A = this chain, B = another copy of it.
Amino acid sequence: MLNDDWKPSETSAIPLYKQIAQFIKEKISSGEWTIGTKLPTQREFAEILEVNRSTVITALEDLKAEGLIEGKNSGGTVVVNNTWSLLNNSRTPKWEGYIERGIYKPNLSTIQMINKLEFKNGIIRLGTGEVSPSLYPKQAMKKILHKVSNNLESMGYEQPKGSIKLRGAISEYVKKFGIKTSPEAVLIVSGSLQALQLLSMGILPKASTIITEKPSYLKSLHIFQSEGMKLKGIGMDEHGINVNELRNSINKSTKLLYTIPTFHNPTGILQTEERRDEVLNLCREKRLPIIEDDAYRELWLEEKPPMPLKSKDKDGMVLYIGTVSKCLAAGMRIGWIVGPEAVIDRLADIKMQADYGSSSISQAVLSEFIESGLYEKYIEKLRNNLVVRRNITIEILEKYFKHIAQWNVPKGGFYIWLKLKKHISIDLLFKMCCEEGILINPGSIYDFVKNSNIRISYSYADIKELESALKRLSEIVIEITART
């Protein structure tokens, strides 16, 4: 609420408390803080505005006297009038009611906190599934942006399925992975998250069940649940999803398998070739369509992973999702879906209703990046960096977590799925870490059951920070374990 950087001026002729009162008054009179809005605490005000608490108290007293705010017994101070409503007999719409009754569920509160804290200065992000800004290909991107800026003749809406240049580049690019497709069967989306949203709106009836790995990235989202669908989790072993359990779970309401066979999020597991065949055969037998999320494929470390399920799909049974968010730039917001043309057409129509297509600049930049060969070169370099990062992280874990946790050594992707040996409250761990400026992704947000896992990402934080933060994390774990 107080992120505007505004501070009262020490050199002004107007007393500090009056400046503060005026500032709050403007927030209220502009309708930004509506009636019913809870104000920050006196302590928070004092901290953020860098003034004494007594100054804040005086300012608030002034506003109370004007009838704009009221202290409630429960402790908070609340906006009860606005300047307008004092003059007239006006009544603000009750936005709270609107917000609560909306169709979409809010994000999990932990995820809301993570989304927010990621932008806090100085916080060390141990769970972030992104490439570190220090690995961003600044020079290559500069070159591409210059080229694009020289060629850009206009910037209108793109075709419903996305820019034909980019779709052409993608259909060439996925050939590397054994996927044959024409640009007509490719849909450009704003990241793979949007792919899932379009699928939830476009091709599934309300009472559907979607099957996925347990744990799964999908569980941390509300996309399908908000549209009235259910998620069902299937256990995994080191070769991937458990096929027998999968077979037994399929029934009439099962409409889709969502799977991340390659460097799974959050466990890092790489599905074997054999397991892939088993999954494909079972789904073919049961006529169960598959969404294959292949976000991490390019991030193999020592050797290439098996080809995607889509490469063996002769029946148009697999919808394949790719993205550059993980290996190049999340801020580009570009992903793609490859699938049967009729499904792609339907999803393109839904996309036109959702946002009229993805950013033309992003699409132009990415086509150029891929076609110029710079993308390939950049990824090779990135892989080398990630090998180093993974190795160092594993060493750090050996050093500090040997007695308190178990983990996998991932062959690609970003994630180590750290399982604590003793059960402790991960919520408490999350909070205590936050207080010390360390942001972790608790395993609970990905799982169907309570667990004692943490998703550690070796891709984002600086290497030095990785060591200090992981060390501190181990100490906090031991501290909490001792308490319980």
A residues whose Cβ falls under 8 Å from a Cβ of B? 1-4, 6, 26-27, 29-35, 37, 82-85, 88, 90-96, 98-99, 101-104, 106-107, 112, 115-116, 118-119, 130, 133, 136, 138, 141-142, 145-146, 148-150, 152-160, 180-185, 190-191, 193-194, 197, 200-206, 221-223, 226-228, 255, 284-285, 287-289, 313-318, 325, 329-334, 339-343, 346, 349-350, 352-362, 365
Q: Can you give 9 contacting A-B residue pairs, CB < 8 Å? A: A31-B340, A33-B316, A90-B284, A90-B314, A93-B288, A103-B202, A116-B160, A130-B156, A329-B360
Distance of A88 Cα from B312 Cα, bound (Å): 14
| Neighbouring B residues of A145 by C-beta, 8 Å | 145-146, 148-149, 152, 361
The answer to whether A314 and B84 touch across the interface, beta carbons within 8 angstroms, is yes
The answer to whether B315 and A333 touch across the interface, beta carbons within 8 angstroms, is no
Distance of A99 Cα from B340 Cα, bound (Å): 12
| Neighbouring B residues of A32 by C-beta, 8 Å | 181-182, 184-185, 316, 340-341
Find the residue from A35, A119, A222, A360 having the highest chain B CB count within 10 A. A360
Find the residue from A35, A102, A136, A202 having the highest chain B CB count within 10 A. A102
The answer to whether A37 and B197 touch across the interface, beta carbons within 8 angstroms, is no
| Neighbouring B residues of A149 by C-beta, 8 Å | 141-142, 145-146, 149
The answer to whether A182 and B4 touch across the interface, beta carbons within 8 angstroms, is yes
The listed residue (B103, B138, B182, B333) touching A359 by CB distance below 8 A is B333
The listed residue (B190, B201, B204, B365) touching A190 by CB distance below 8 A is B190
Other than the given A190-B355, A191-B356, A194-B354, 4 more pairs (CB < 8 A) read A98-B255, A98-B343, A112-B349, A146-B149
4 shortest A-B CB distances, which residue pairs? Answer: A331-B360, A84-B314, A31-B316, A145-B149
The listed residue (B104, B191, B205, B288) touching A101 by CB distance below 8 A is B205
The listed residue (B115, B193, B313, B358) touching A31 by CB distance below 8 A is B313
The listed residue (B141, B142, B353, B360) touching A222 by CB distance below 8 A is B353
The answer to whether B202 and A102 touch across the interface, beta carbons within 8 angstroms, is yes
The answer to whether B184 and A91 touch across the interface, beta carbons within 8 angstroms, is no
The answer to whether A223 and B99 touch across the interface, beta carbons within 8 angstroms, is no
| Given A112-B349, A317-B31, A329-B360, A141-B155 contact (CB < 8 Å) | yes
The answer to whether A205 and B103 touch across the interface, beta carbons within 8 angstroms, is yes
| Neighbouring B residues of A222 by C-beta, 8 Å | 353
| Given A115-B160, A359-B358, A155-B136 contact (CB < 8 Å) | yes
Distance of A261 Cα from B164 Cα, bound (Å): 36
The answer to whether B287 and A92 touch across the interface, beta carbons within 8 angstroms, is yes
Distance of A153 Cα from B331 Cα, bound (Å): 12
The answer to whether B136 and A92 touch across the interface, beta carbons within 8 angstroms, is no
The answer to whether A101 and B204 touch across the interface, beta carbons within 8 angstroms, is yes
The answer to whether B95 and A340 touch across the interface, beta carbons within 8 angstroms, is yes
The answer to whether B341 and A359 touch across the interface, beta carbons within 8 angstroms, is no
The answer to whether B152 and A99 touch across the interface, beta carbons within 8 angstroms, is no
CB distance from A270 to the nearest CB of B (A): 24
| Given A152-B141, A289-B98, A31-B314 contact (CB < 8 Å) | yes
The answer to whether A205 and B102 touch across the interface, beta carbons within 8 angstroms, is yes
